[in-house]
Amino acid sequence: AKENRKNEVPAKEKDEFCAPAQTRQ
């Protein structure tokens, strides 16, 4: 699931989406 989103979302958005997502969890 995570890998799929990473490939779909660009590096820019992925960074902003991955960073906050991990911090929230």
Q: How confident is the model at residue 16 (pLDDT cuts 50, 70, 90)?
A: low
DSSP reduced 3-state for 10: coil
Runs of H (alpha helix) within the chain: 2-8, 11-24
State mean pLDDT over 5-23: 62
Q: Where are the domains of the chain?
A: 1-25
**21 vs 15, residue with greater confidence:** 15
**What are the structure tokens assigned to 14, written together?**
């992925």
- Mean pLDDT to the nearest integer, 2-11: 62
Which amino acid is it at 3? E
pLDDT band at 10 (very low <50, low <70, confident <90, very high): low
